[in-house]
């Protein structure tokens, strides 16, 4: 890699852009690996969260809320403890009982499923949550938003009646992932790739021992990917302890690859939790489970998107969508009228009515990579219009403010 390429990657680093654009920060007093979201960064992640929750609900997911903490017994029951003991926070003793900050959501969702009996008619049941999780990453492995000690996962667990239903749900989960990445402007086999993560039959310390189940489940995922016509590589010893998974791999600006999203087949947990349902024959049957994260950890996705866009977010994600710029102070009243119209229609607008020259105000909009800015002077007030300029397409000329509103709302809705 030559120096220009190195400089280009450094300029795209989400840590650098996040600092310059005031998206997030860290504090040693708060603790390493614990991001603090500034208003602009919180706005971007809120839009991501709204997008994925709305899309999942459209696709039949049931969104729930479960606690960030649970008794240690829950993780012993699931098998996460001691398998993930080294990456879990130490137990908290309360009233002579041990509790843990949760490192994953699946046992919570399984207990929620067990709150009442279920029929085959209810399956597949897609239980989803934007879940705050806590994992004790080693200090040397922490890196910006890519690897942190607390993160919000777009998590879901799909309870299925049959293996065939589970495979079908895995395919639908991949469809959702490919849709979400297309909205973000990410391309398969260019910006991300598929990896089939397999277990290791000899590593009984890391993986649940059931050779037959491993062979069958890995073959099911392999055949699914082949049927979809997707390119993928196989990686041994990268599976979850309870089953194989399909990982979506992305590289950051420093060239390091991480798993962004994942879909996992689970042949272990249904038996541990007695995840049963009443079949068409009136008998009790053991369910099948799919774990999946549609857009992964919000923090890690934010890091990838900051680097993808180099901070120049599309309109629907941008912290400030439009800046309203009066040329002089005598234009402030009309500028405020336009600003209020935008705000009333839930467009994130900023009014720059400081007594500064026009060039300074426009440079600020460009520096902060705002998608649009509006200039209002004598001509605009006389015509009852505004002049619109675009970060990506330059001068767009005068237009009535009603046309401006229609244009922005349509672009936001379509997530162009």
- Number of alpha carbons in the 13 Å side-chain half-sphere of residue 47: 24
The yes or no reply on domain 322-414 and CATH 3.40.50.800 is: yes
Cis peptide before 82 (omega within 30 of 0): yes
Pair of tokens at residue 219: 């073959």
- CA pair distance 61, 344, nearest whole angstrom: 31
3-309: CATH topology: BirA Bifunctional Protein; domain 2 (3.30.930)
pLDDT tens, position by position, 330-389: 999 999 999 999 999 999 999 999 999 999 999 999 999 999 999 999 999 999 999 999
pLDDT band at 4 (very low <50, low <70, confident <90, very high): very low
pLDDT band at 207 (very low <50, low <70, confident <90, very high): low
- Which of 79-88, 152-161, 343-352, 371-380 shows the lowest mean pLDDT across its residues? 79-88
pLDDT tens, position by position, 22-33: 999 999 999 999
**Structural element, H or E, at residue 258:** strand 257-266
Per-residue b/e over 303-328, b at no fewer than 16 CB within 10 Å?
bbbbbbbebbbbbbbbbbbbbbbbbe
> Does residue 199 have a pLDDT over 90?
no
pLDDT tens, position by position, 310-319: 999 999 999 9
- Which of 152-156, 164-168, 199-203, 256-260 shows the lowest mean pLDDT across its residues? 199-203
DSSP 354: S
Q: Which long-range contacts (CB under 8 A, 24 or more apart) does 269-276 make?
A: 269/78, 269/79, 269/106, 269/110, 269/242, 272/77, 272/78, 272/79, 273/77, 273/78, 273/107, 273/110, 273/111, 273/114, 274/114, 275/110, 275/113, 275/114, 275/159, 276/118
**Rg, Å, the chain Cα set:** 25
End-to-end Cα separation, the chain, in angstroms: 33
pLDDT band at 133 (very low <50, low <70, confident <90, very high): very high
Locate the domains of the chain by residue range: 3-309, 322-414
pTM of the model: 0.92
């Amino acid at each position: 890699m030559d120096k220009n390429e190195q400089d280009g990657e450094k300029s795209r680093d989400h840590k650098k852009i996040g600092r310059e654009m005031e998206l997030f920060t860290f504090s040693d007093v708060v603790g390493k690996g614990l991001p603090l979201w500034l208003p602009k960064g919180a706005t971007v992640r809120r839009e991501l969260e709204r997008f994925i929750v709305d899309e999942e609900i459209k696709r039949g997911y049931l969104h729930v809320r479960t606690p960030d903490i649970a008794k240690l017994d829950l993780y012993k029951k699931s098998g996460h403890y001691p398998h993930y003991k080294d990456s879990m926070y130490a137990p908290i003793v309360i009233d002579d009982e041990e509790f843990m900050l949760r490192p994953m959501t699946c046992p919570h969702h399984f207990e929620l499923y067990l709150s009442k009996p279920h029929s085959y008619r209810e399956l597949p049941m897609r239980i989803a949550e934007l879940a705050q999780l806590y994992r004790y990453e080693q200090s040397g492995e922490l890196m910006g938003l890519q690897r942190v000690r607390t993160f919000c996962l777009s998590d879901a667990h799909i309870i299925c009646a049959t293996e065939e239903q589970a495979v079908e749900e895995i395919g639908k989960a991949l469809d959702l992932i490919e849709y979400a990445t297309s909205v973000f402007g990410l391309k398969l086999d260019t910006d991300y790739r598929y990896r089939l993560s397999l277990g290791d039959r000899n590593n009984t310390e890391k993986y649940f021992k059931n050779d037959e189940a491993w062979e069958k489940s890995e073959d099911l995922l392999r055949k699914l990917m082949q049927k979809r016509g997707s390119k993928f590589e196989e990686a041994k010893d990268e599976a979850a302890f309870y089953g194989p998974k399909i990982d979506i791999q992305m590289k950051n600006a420093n060239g390091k690859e991480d798993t962004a999203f994942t879909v996992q087949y689970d042949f272990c947990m249904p038996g541990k939790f007695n995840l049963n349902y009443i079949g068409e024959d009136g008998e009790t049957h053991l369910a099948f489970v799919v774990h999946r994260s549609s857009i992964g950890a919000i923090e890690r996705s934010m890091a990838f998107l900051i680097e993808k866009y180099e901070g120049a977010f599309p309109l629907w994600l941008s912290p400030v969508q439009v800046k309203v710029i009066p040329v002089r102070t005598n234009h402030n009243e009309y500028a405020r009228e336009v600003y209020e119209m935008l705000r009333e229609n839930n467009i994130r607008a900023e009014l720059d009515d400081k007594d500064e020259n026009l060039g300074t105000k426009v440079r600020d909009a460009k520096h902060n990579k705002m998608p649009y800015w509006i200039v209002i002077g004598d001509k605009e007030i006389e015509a009852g219009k505004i002049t619109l300029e675009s970060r990506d397409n330059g001068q767009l000329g005068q237009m009535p403010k009603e046309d401006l509103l229609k244009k922005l709302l349509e672009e936001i809705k379509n997530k162009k």
